[in-house]
Chain A
């Protein structure tokens, strides 16, 4: 039994000439962990590190006790990129059947994944003709296919209507309750309240770590956005 899904030590990432992550230490356990911060702060880079597609300058990243991206992990980690990474000229069902064959999941898993993101009545539609929200749900469904132990979701709720966002967050919690470690990023502060644990990130550093209630109490404010501002100001002072 590995307690932490993810253990990161002294992670250092440079993109172009700019350091994106410097000396980052972080562990991620069960439940829904939210990574919040403004766009450009390094959220996507950190997520790419977890799934092993980011070139890393230094440090170690272990997922379930193995180096991130190593072969035995590739069907245990579900990953949704920020872009809608499914084939726009295939239907939702064709996309899912293809990815299911790649990871060795069966037809029932395809139906379950489509149902989980509530796309049953659009399963036969070509992805390119769906709305932006439906497209990103199709992309999310792919990550659910293999019943992963760790889900890495890069801004999965951008542009969705509030009802759907609510549905997806309930889905994340259902998955977390069944033992999946869910790591989800967002730049929308009001989503922070729904996380079991919250990481606030700014310019490549984690500036706060705790439950939403703890973070608000520590900053002495009533909402996460004010807490973020208060922490940034006290850092600068």
Chain B
């Protein structure tokens, strides 16, 4: 791995994002708007539910958004020939992957600071643990989303197909992560499945953070999510072939 090349990739991705105002607005503003909408939905019926679901959403947004952004951008790199060109240059696969992860991790950090500021500052979400740790969890979640997106982009031929992987890969995790029904209350089989899915731990981390002051459990969940992310990046690296048929 080469720091100069890795930073060049990260900087280039950020310049591309900066030029794309609409995507940038979606990345940064949309999570804030959606969380506000959720707060409003529960405001009359059951304000306590917002305290339960809000933290889960703070974990889910970075995963979904980065999954979509990464799967489409890497697919574009593959189909436009820029990836082939880069791999014919002195670029390691890790330089490429870590460069992307750095850029999207930074965007995720900004996204989560905004979403947390809105949730806690404006909407009155109760967070008992340290606030900064919320951002750490969100960044790790974003890298997980990027890793999954990168991996599936190898199996999509068009941007249409890449987007279809979202419901296939992310929605099952969404249903089983404890957002709708606490994971302990799931049927035994589904509980076991949810134990094997990364998003469950991402949501657990956020929920522990908001309900208890002790951070040991949170770090454990973060470590599991990070392990899934590293595994995803490794699988993604295996799909970046210098030589193609």
Contact = CB atoms under 8 A, between A and B. Distances in A.
A95 B245 CA distance: 27
B88 A74 contact: yes
Nearest to B79: A83
A142 interface: yes
Interface stretch (B15-23, B58-66, B150-158, B194-202): B15-23
Contacts of A86: 82
Contact of B80 (A74, A77, A85): A85
A53 B4 CA distance: 23
Interface residues of B, number: 26
Interface residues of A, number: 33
Contacts of B5: 101-102
A71 interface: yes
Interface in B10-40: 11-12, 15-16, 19-20
B242 A69 contact: yes
Contacts of A99: 85, 89
B81 A83 contact: yes
Interface in A84-99: 84-90, 94, 98-99
A200 to B, nearest CB: 26
Nearest to A146: B89
A55 interface: yes
B4 A101 contact: yes
A79 B85 contact: yes
B88 A75 contact: no
Contacts, number: 80
Contact of A102 (B15, B19, B86): B86
A9 interface: no
A69 B243 contact: yes
Contacts of A211: none
Contact of A75 (B9, B16, B89): B89
Contact of A85 (B7, B12, B85, B242): B85
B8 interface: yes
Contacts of A52: 88, 242-243
A181 to B, nearest CB: 16
Given A69-B88, A74-B89, A89 B82 contact: no
Given A16-B245, A87-B12, 20 more contacts: A53-B88, A55-B243, A55-B245, A69-B88, A69-B243, A75-B89, A79-B88, A81-B81, A85-B82, A85-B84, A86-B82, A87-B16, A89-B19, A90-B12, A101-B7, A102-B86, A102-B89, A103-B89, A104-B90, A142-B85
